[in-house]
Amino acid sequence: MDRIYNGMPARELGSEGWHKPWSGGNGGNCIEAMKLADGRVAVRQSADPDGPALIYTHGEIAAFIQGAKSGQADFLLT
């Protein structure tokens, strides 16, 4: 991979290694994540696997997950 950047086409990251940790009973629309070799995390929408990939640092993903666990993202659900 020459260059991994935020918003790149997810297909350029390949089809192997994507996981659906946040899937649910929503008709197959879920978020997929892939841990990159350098420790960053790529996220894509499963219904659009060729669409853009959002690239987050380990620290960004950790802060999001910890914040969501502690209820800081609950406003998104109401």
pLDDT in tens, 29-48: 689 999 999 999 999 998 89
Mean pLDDT of 8-32: 83
In whole angstroms, what is the distance from residue 35 CA to residue 17 CA? 8
What are the residue ranges spanned by the domains of the chain? 8-77
Residue 16 has pLDDT above 80, yes or no: yes
Alpha carbon of 4 to those of 18, 34, 64: distances in Å?
A: 15, 13, 21
Give the model's pLDDT for residue 20. Answer: 87
> Does the predicted model carry a pTM greater than 0.75?
yes
What's the gap between Cα 6 and its chain centre? 11
Residue 35: both structure tokens together: 């841990």
Q: CB count, 10 Å around CB of 34?
A: 19
